[in-house]
Chain A
Amino acid sequence: MTVSPIFLGSYSVESLRARTNATQFTDLKSTMTDLQRQLATGKLADDWAGMGTERVTSLDMNARVSILDGYASNITDAQTRLKLMDTSLAQLDKNRSAAIGELSLDSYQLRSGGTTQGQILLTGRFNEMIDLLNQDVAGRYVFSGRATDTKPVASADVILNGSGSQIGLKTAMANQRTTDLGSGLGGLAVGVSGNVVSITKPGAGGMTVSGTSSFDFTTQPTEGQTFTVKVTLPDGTSQDVTLAASSNPGAGTSTGAAFQIGATSAQTATNFGAAITTALTNVANTSLWAASGVKAAQDFFNGNIANSVQWYLGDNSATPRQTALVRASDGAPIASGAQANEAPFRNLLASYAVMAADSFPSSNANSPARYDAVKSRLQTNLAETPGARVADVQTELALASVDINTAKERNAATKSVLQDHISAIEDASPEQIAAQLLSLQTSLQASYQTASMVSKLSLVNYLS
């Protein structure tokens, strides 16, 4: 408690007393006002000076708390995103395994729209997959990598039919088929020279022979002896074309699966040549057709088709997880990105799209066989290869989610410790203030009383 000085030198004892009292009352009153402020605001000080020597600690900790709040907001955001991605991926995987089952039960039978049951189902899956990959959380596309403001996948119509001068999947498949078919045998040619039948590949086309390509009939085949030509197709599948030697190929064995043992070796070779030509033509019209379509779809979604439409418009990072880095704590950011052009998604899209793009009209006698060939390929492809599964992406994101949750708990613990400390520095305890106010009240009352008593004690009042 201080008496404000007046700086002018001496003053009377009476005015000294009056001023002492006045200052005391003012000081007590202002202390009281400050305590009331503390009670109202809950804070000990309302300026930096008043915060005391721990002001740096308090400032630093408040800054830390603000950063932790920032992390918390990042975490909330990331959790929403990851949850949605997880749901989408689960749905994709569910659809995938369902599709395998559906295809295995399906057979070539055209519905009213001229499409098969399998086509209808897979076209549906295709559209749904595009929708799932194009999902956004508050305007942020989650399967676009760092291009979060770009819808990652083009529409089904654009993908299938192209846009402007850029070709779509349908054209790409047709082109591939034309190229692969070559002159009719997928680029292969069957030549008979004396006793020897050679299958060569003089032209362009989608079939190649692996293994034996030359058959010598100098020694006449025995009844039932088989000869196999192993044909590799553009999608990497291979098919064995097996012909059995027969003295009477019309009976017992199906047409095209046998050839007539001739009178001479040269005769037999000619017969084999004709039969294998027929068999390979059949393969070219069915299996090659299917394989070319699948290959074209894979190439399309891998971006390997010249002048095709861009089906994927998002970020093209080699490390899709790194495209969304969640800062959930001071540690390394947690990778939680994904891109619609990751291998598992490309595989699924390509598989579904083949069915959506193709048609199997009843007017074409090859349609049932083609349909089966396509179906079996899709069943294999939909089964996924290890390391490129949708579930793998899902697992990686789930791990990120776990990391984020751990960070969240750690942050919450840190924040609570910090807030306790801040509170100890900054906050006024209501109990303490109440006690201080009470004692202040007492001393103020006492001061008033004393002042009033002392003011009466002057000789002036006692002289008459």
Chain B
Amino acid sequence: MSLSTALSSALSGLRTTQTQMQVVSGNVANVDTPGYSRRSAQLVETTGNGNVNGVRVAGVQRALDGILQRELRTETSGSGYTGVRATYTDRLQSLFGQPGDASSLPGVMSAFTTALQDLANDPASSTARTAVLSRAATFASTLNSVSNGIQQLRADTETAISADVARANELLKTISSLDQKVGLSQGQDPSLLDQRDAQINELAKLMDLNVTTNANGTVNLSTQGGLRLFDPTGPVTLAFDGRGTMSAGSLYSSGASRGVGTITATTPGGTTVDALAQGLIRSGEIAGLLELRDKTLVDAQSQVDELAAGLASAMGNKINAGAAATAGAATGFDVDTTGIQPGNVMTVNVTVGGVPKTYSFINLATGGTLPANATSNPNDIEVAVDFSNPATAAAAIGTALGSAFTVSNTGSTIRILDDGAAGTSDVSAASASITLTGSLQSGSPEFALFVDGANGQPFTGSFANGSQKTGLAARLIVNPAVKLDPNLLVKYAATTPSGDTTRPALMLDRLTSTKFTLGLSNGSGGTTAYTGTMLDFSSRVVAAQGEIAAGAARLDEGQKVVQSSIESRFSAASGVSIDQELTNLVQIQNAYSANARIMSAVKEMMDLLMRI
């Protein structure tokens, strides 16, 4: 090896140390840049004729653990999902007020109860009457505002989805252009890769991603559900047809009657896919928002609707319990269905072959179709019956109950009998809950204290134009006729003395001691039957929202821990450490000095040689 080779070798050493220096300074400079992964210069020896004649920088590489990166993206999607759920469910629970606050839903309910207690104590007192009306109005307006708040939250999710979809499109475009460059550089440019990956990570927060890397460093993106987002032919264009306003009736459906927006993806080739119809987005912020909009908040709305409907019916429905009836050995009940309104329900409890069953015969006199789970009781068998002709109604009931029962009618009174001596069937109870729609002084203590604000009429639960219950919480108002004439709170007949407690006591009892079966959301899309007083039910509605919020917050907290830990591990592998860089710096300085020393040694030797 000649001195000139040594010189050129030292020179290459100086050149590489300069490059290394550049990498270190780049690392140090980017110490606070998120998404920047630590770079290192890859050195290779250069050889000539079997001898080492120098060093060169083969390339600058970034430190990256592919597995950790994939995990990081999965958890990022999860965090996007839990984060948005925690935020919205917290806002949802706050709609019901603060615990112990008089303006909270339980507080308002308590105040209404207290006012009714006062009225039942002194029905003639105009103060007590005014108080009941005012507390009832507060209760109704609280339900209205909770319901409006829920729909506002749904509208917010709609807006947020729209923004997220727009952001996803931007990200996809950026990813596309960066990915092309990555392809051109054959995946050798760490800064292009870093930038592209940072965009992909941000996209992962919005939706779950499945990333596959091609040989030239480019990637293909799709969701876990199989929605293709990006491949070398280009990104899909996502679109969201959000709705500006939202009501309880605005629901998702795959048909044309859709009341909320859906996300569509159009490929560069022009094919369009409905991502929601096929459930292609399963995690990330968008999935969280969709679940809130179409499930959690819809459930919350149906809970307050159930409360509103339950209360309106509790005050306004006369419950005709069946009178025991016998015919020979057969026993059963006579149920008076006079005045049964569209949507009113006749309930029949039977036992067939030892199995108890509850039948709900729902009056569909004015048409309409019965949705699944039309009544508050999720465990009943629901049958649509047109009660406008009692004879046909009795026949229809007979058909539904089967041959073990005999159903007949005398006028509007429907008789249901078991099979008598055979003893295989039994009728254990039968009743009809009938909304009183006529005069408020009909002589019945029940009366429509609350009415449906849409038409000012008592709530019957009709299905003529969709379910009347849907969105009732937003429409519930105190009957204007009662507001005009507070005497109606007491005088259930024209001649009722003003100190008569019958009607106030009925209102109070229907609120605090009569048990009703109502549907209670279990927070995960299902409904369970809750049997209890209206007052207890209202507590449960609020508690359920509290539990959902607490659950979402716990989940989010846990997800944050996971996310942080994976970020820490990922950073340990890929992040810059000043200490490490400075250690490298010392090493590079030494190498530089050594190379320089060799050069000066070669020079000295050369000089010596020249002097000869």
Interface residues of A (CB under 8 A from B): 2-16, 43, 45-53, 55-56, 58-60, 62-63, 66-67, 69-71, 73-74, 77-78, 138-140, 144-150, 315, 323-327, 330, 333, 426, 458-460, 463
Assuming the A-B contacts A63-B106, A63-B110, A77-B122, are A463 and B90 also in contact, with contact meaning beta carbons closer than 8 angstroms in the complex?
no
- Per the bound structure, the CA–CA distance linking A64 and B569 in Å amounts to 53
Top-3 shortest CB links A-B: A48-B546, A70-B117, A148-B499
**B110 touching A62, Cβ below 8 Å:** yes
A-B pairs with beta carbons under 8 Å apart, 26 shown:
A3-B560, A3-B564, A7-B80, A7-B563, A8-B35, A8-B198, A9-B35, A10-B570, A12-B32, A15-B31, A43-B99, A48-B96, A48-B546, A49-B546, A51-B546, A55-B99, A55-B542, A56-B540, A58-B99, A63-B110, A63-B113, A63-B539, A73-B121, A145-B497, A147-B124, A325-B120
**A50 touching B563, Cβ below 8 Å:** no
B106, B498, B553, B571: which contacts A13 (Cβ < 8 A)?
A: B571
- Per the bound structure, the CA–CA distance linking A150 and B496 in Å amounts to 13
Main secondary structure of the interface of B (DSSP, over half): helix
**A10 touching B539, Cβ below 8 Å:** no
- Per the bound structure, the CA–CA distance linking A58 and B204 in Å amounts to 41
Q: Which residues on B sit within 8 Å (CB–CB) of A3?
A: 560, 564, 567-568
**B35 touching A10, Cβ below 8 Å:** yes
Interface residue? B390 (CB, 8 A): no
Assuming the A-B contacts A56-B539, A149-B124, are A460 and B578 also in contact, with contact meaning beta carbons closer than 8 angstroms in the complex?
yes
Interface residue? B47 (CB, 8 A): no
Q: Which residues on A sit within 8 Å (CB–CB) of B512?
A: 67
Interface residue? B231 (CB, 8 A): no
Q: How many A-B residue pairs have CB under 8 A?
A: 233
Q: Which residues on B sit within 8 Å (CB–CB) of A463?
A: 582, 585-586
**A148 touching B123, Cβ below 8 Å:** yes
Q: Which residues on A sit within 8 Å (CB–CB) of B94?
A: 47
**A78 touching B499, Cβ below 8 Å:** no
**B582 touching A460, Cβ below 8 Å:** yes
A11, A47, A140: which contacts B567 (Cβ < 8 A)?
A: A11
- Per the bound structure, the CA–CA distance linking A15 and B38 in Å amounts to 13
Interface residue? B37 (CB, 8 A): yes
A286 to chain B, nearest CB (A): 44
**B560 touching A5, Cβ below 8 Å:** yes
- Per the bound structure, the CA–CA distance linking A62 and B582 in Å amounts to 64
**B99 touching A48, Cβ below 8 Å:** yes
Q: Which residues on B sit within 8 Å (CB–CB) of A16?
A: 567-568, 571, 575
**B561 touching A2, Cβ below 8 Å:** yes
**B505 touching A59, Cβ below 8 Å:** no
- Per the bound structure, the CA–CA distance linking A316 and B543 in Å amounts to 48
- Per the bound structure, the CA–CA distance linking A56 and B205 in Å amounts to 35
- Per the bound structure, the CA–CA distance linking A46 and B93 in Å amounts to 11
**A55 touching B564, Cβ below 8 Å:** no
Chain B contact-residue range equals 35 or more
Interface residue? B526 (CB, 8 A): no
- Per the bound structure, the CA–CA distance linking A59 and B97 in Å amounts to 13
- Per the bound structure, the CA–CA distance linking A267 and B568 in Å amounts to 143
B79 to chain A, nearest CB (A): 6
Interface residue? B84 (CB, 8 A): no
**A11 touching B100, Cβ below 8 Å:** no
Assuming the A-B contacts A48-B545, A60-B536, A63-B109, are A6 and B117 also in contact, with contact meaning beta carbons closer than 8 angstroms in the complex?
no
Instruction: Given contact pairs A3-B567, A10-B570, enumerate 17 new A-B contacts (beta carbons under 8 Å).
Output: A2-B561, A9-B35, A9-B201, A11-B567, A16-B568, A48-B546, A48-B550, A59-B543, A67-B117, A74-B117, A74-B121, A140-B125, A147-B497, A148-B498, A330-B513, A463-B582, A463-B585
**B499 touching A13, Cβ below 8 Å:** no
- Per the bound structure, the CA–CA distance linking A59 and B533 in Å amounts to 13
B123, B545, B550, B578: which contacts A12 (Cβ < 8 A)?
A: B578
Assuming the A-B contacts A13-B578, A43-B100, are A49 and B120 also in contact, with contact meaning beta carbons closer than 8 angstroms in the complex?
no
Interface centre among A10, A60, A66, A460 (most CB of B within 10 A): A10
Interface centre among B121, B553, B582 (most CB of A within 10 A): B121
- Per the bound structure, the CA–CA distance linking A52 and B501 in Å amounts to 40
**A7 touching B202, Cβ below 8 Å:** yes
Interface string of B9-33 (1 = CB under 8 A from A): 0000000000000000000001110
Among residues of A, the one whose C-beta sits closest to the C-beta of B100 is: A43
Among residues of A, the one whose C-beta sits closest to the C-beta of B535 is: A63
- B 90-133 contacts with A by CB, 8 A: 90, 93-94, 96, 98-100, 106, 109-110, 113-114, 117-118, 120-125
**B498 touching A149, Cβ below 8 Å:** yes
- Per the bound structure, the CA–CA distance linking A241 and B577 in Å amounts to 134
**A47 touching B561, Cβ below 8 Å:** no
Q: Which residues on B sit within 8 Å (CB–CB) of A11?
A: 32, 34-36, 567, 571, 575
A64 to chain B, nearest CB (A): 9
Among residues of B, the one whose C-beta sits closest to the C-beta of A327 is: B120
**A49 touching B34, Cβ below 8 Å:** no
Q: Which residues on A sit within 8 Å (CB–CB) of B513?
A: 330
Q: Which residues on B sit within 8 Å (CB–CB) of A45?
A: 99
Q: Which residues on B sit within 8 Å (CB–CB) of A325?
A: 120, 501, 505
Q: Which residues on B sit within 8 Å (CB–CB) of A78?
A: 121
